[in-house]
Amino acid sequence: MANENKLQNIIGHCKEYGFIFQSSEIYDGLSAVYDYGQNGTELKRNIRDYWWKSMTQMQENNIVGIDAAIFMHPTVWKASGHVDNFSDPMIDNKDSQKRYRVDHLIEAFVETLDKEKGDAMLAQMDQLLAANDYVGLKQLIEDNKMKCTVSGTCNWTDVRQFNLMFSTQLGSVSDEASEIYLRPETAQGIFVNFLNVQKSGRMKIPFGIAQTGKAFRNEIVARGFIFRMREFEQMEMQFFVRPGTQKEWYEYWKETRMKWHMSLGISPEKYRFHDHVKLAFYADMACDIEYDFPMGFKEVEGIHSRTDYDLKQHQQFSGKKLTYFDTDINQHYVPYVIETSIGLDRTVMLLLSEAYYEEDLSTAEKQDSRVVLKFPPMLAPIKLAVLPLTKKDGLPELAKDLINECKPHFRCFYEEKDAIGKRYRRMDALGTPFCITIDHQTKEDGTVTIRYRDSMEQERINLADVKNIILDKIKMF
Ligand code: ATP
C-alpha cells in the first residue's frame, strides 16, 4: 500500500470505527484539532496508563507523578524563555498569503531531490537555523526556486519569528497584567513544583517527577492528522540529578525510553535516534526518538538534557531559592535535569500506523479481505468480545454471565446480531484481540471457542478458564 494511501485509509478507518473525529465536524471542523471517539479514548487511556505505570511504578528510580494546572503565572513563561524564544522562523508567500514554517518548506522541497543533494541541503538548512541566519534561509529558498503550493510562485516575504503560544485573559478586566498563556509544554508545571514535591516527599536526588496533560501550540503548518495538532497531550518526566552526572543519566534515559518503545512489540528497524544539531535554548544534549510513520521517519519523543537552566531561571524571576542540599557530598546546588517528553497523540498515531493492516484472504473459491488493527493486547480498546452463536436456547445468558465475571477486570463487548464471521470482522476492525463464541456445545461440556485476532485461529477452551487466560495475555508487566 502506498504510504499516502495508508495514511488516508487510517484516517477514514478512525472515523468509521469511532477512534478519532475532526473537532466540530458539523461546523466543517477546526483545523488541526481532533476529538477522540469511544474507541480512540480507550486506546489513548491505555497508552497513558502504560506510560504512567512504566515511569512511576515499575522504575528502579524514584519517580512520582503530579497534575499541575494548565494555567500558570505569566512570569513562568517569561522565566522559561518561551515568551522570547518559543518561536519558529516563518515565511509568507505574498501572492497566496500562505504562511510556512521555513524548515517544513525546505524539507518538502528536499523530498523532490535525490538523496545526496537532499542530505546536503538539509545539512545547510541545519547550519543556517543553528546560526539564526534568516537572510541565508531566505536566500536558500529563493536560489532553489521553492514554490508556494497554493500560488505556485516564489514571491516570498522576509523570514521572521512567530511565537507559538496561545494567550488568553484571566479575569474580567482586559488589561495587560491579566494576560496569561495556555501552556505549550507540561514541563514548567513540574519545575515550579520541584521544591514542593522534594520537601513534601522527602525526595533524595536523583529523583523524577512525571506528568501527563494537555499542551497547546499555535502550529502554523499543522498537518499529518494527529501528528501535529494545536491542542495535544504530552507525557513528560523531569529527572533531577547532581550537576556533572547529566551525561550518564542522559544516556541512561535514551536507552530506557527506547526499551519502552521496543516493549510495544515494534521492530527496532522502525525506530531511530536523531541527535539535535540545533539545540533548544535550554539544552546541552538532545535527541529525538523517531518512528517510521506512513509519511517517513518523524519525532515521537524528545530526550533533553536541560541543564539547570529552568530552575535557575525560576529562581531568578521568583526570587525564591530552588536549591537542594545533597547530604552525600554536603553541598547545596541547583539540580540538573534530564527530560523525557513523548506526545500521547503521536503515540496513538504510531500505534495506529503499526497496527493497521489490509489483508487479502481470498481463496480459490471466493474473494475475501479484512481490515485489522493488530494492537498489543494490553492496549486494545476492547479486550474481549463475547458472542453467542444464536439469540436463543440460553446462549445469551451464558454469554452475559461470562461478561459479568470478566468486566471488573477488563473491557468486554457483547454482540448477538449478524453471522459470526461478520462479527469477527467487526472486532478485527476495532483491534479486539480475543473473541469468545458460546454455542450449543457450551451447554453440554462447558467449553467455548476462543478466536485469535492476528492468526484468526480458533480453539476450544473451558469457559471457566476464560477470565484467567485473557488476564494473562493482556497484562502490562
Ligand atoms: P516538532 O519538532 O515535531 O514540532 P518539538 O521538538 O517541538 O516537536 P517537543 O517540544 O520536544 O516537540 O515536545 C515533545 C513531544 O510532544 C514531541 O516529541 C511530540 O511527540 C509532542 N508534540 C509536540 N508538538 C506537538 C503537536 N503540535 N502535536 C502533537 N504532538 C506534539
Set of cell numbers at residue 287 = 535527541
Residue with the smallest CA separation from ligand 1 atom 31 is 343
Q: Measured from the CB, is residue 345 less than 6 Å from ligand 1?
A: yes
Residue with the smallest CA separation from ligand 1 atom 26 is 228
The amino acid at 23? S
Q: Measured from the CB, is residue 346 less than 6 Å from ligand 1?
A: yes
CA of 268 to the centre of ligand 1 (A): 22
Order the strands of the 62-65 sheet from edge to edge: 62-65, 207-216, 231-241, 336-343, 296-307, 285-293, 271-275
| The dihedral sign for the CA sequence 427, 433, 439, 443 | negative
Would you tell me the crossing angle of helices 344-355 and 38-56 to the nearest 10 degrees?
110
Set of cell numbers at residue 260 = 519502552
Residue with the smallest CA separation from ligand 1 atom 19 is 343
Which domains does the chain show, CATH number per domain? 38-74+178-352 (3.30.930.10), 87-163 (3.30.40.230), 382-474 (3.40.50.800)
Local confidence pLDDT in tens for the 477 residues of the chain: 567 799 999 999 999 999 999 999 999 999 999 999 999 999 999 999 999 999 999 988 899 999 999 999 999 999 999 998 888 899 999 999 998 989 989 999 998 999 899 989 999 998 998 888 999 999 999 999 999 999 999 999 999 988 999 999 887 665 656 889 999 999 999 999 999 999 999 999 999 999 999 999 998 766 789 999 999 999 999 999 999 999 999 999 999 999 999 999 999 999 999 998 778 777 889 999 999 999 999 999 999 999 999 999 999 999 999 999 999 999 999 999 999 999 999 999 999 999 999 999 999 999 999 999 999 999 999 999 999 999 999 999 999 999 999 999 999 999 999 999 999 999 999 999 999 999 999 999 999 999 999 999 999 999 999 999 999 999 999
Three-state DSSP at 420 gives helix
User: Residue 160 pairs with which residues in a beta bridge?
Assistant: 90
Report cis status (omega within 30 of 0) of the bond before 89. no
Residue with the smallest CA separation from ligand 1 atom 11 is 302
Confidence (pTM): 0.90
Q: Measured from the CB, is residue 306 less than 6 Å from ligand 1?
A: no
Q: Measured from the CB, is residue 290 less than 6 Å from ligand 1?
A: no
Residue with the smallest CA separation from ligand 1 atom 2 is 299
Please choose, from the candidates 2, 24, 20, the residue with its C-alpha nearest in 3D space to the C-alpha of residue 11: 20
